[in-house]
Amino acid sequence: AIFATHSIAPDIPLITVYKGALRFLSMDVLTVIFLTTFPKVVTFLPNLMM
């Protein structure tokens, strides 16, 4: 996806594209850490269905 984004705007340096994607990647990592730390958040809605 990084290279596809870079091919759309080839005048932007690749390191700038990586820096922009790093924000989204870091939020994904924080989300996984949060959901593994607090699994009740994940199982709340399925438990309501039972």
Separation of alpha carbons 22 and 50, rounded Å: 39
Identify the domain containing residue 29 by its residue range: 14-49
The tally of domains found in the chain comes to 1
Flag whether 3 is in a domain: no
Band (pLDDT 50/70/90 cuts) for residue 13 is very high
Q: How far is CA 14 from CA 2, 5, 9, 27, 30, in A?
A: 8, 9, 10, 21, 24
Flag whether 36 is in a domain: yes
Separation of alpha carbons 19 and 14, rounded Å: 9
Q: What is the pLDDT of residue 28?
A: 98
Band (pLDDT 50/70/90 cuts) for residue 1 is confident
Q: What is the pLDDT of residue 18?
A: 94
CA 24, distance to chain mean position in Å, is: 5
pLDDT in tens, 18-37: 999 999 999 999 999 999 99
Q: What is the pLDDT of residue 17?
A: 92
Q: Report the length, in residues, of the chain.
A: 50
Flag whether 37 is in a domain: yes
Q: What is the pLDDT of residue 39?
A: 94
Flag whether 25 is in a domain: yes
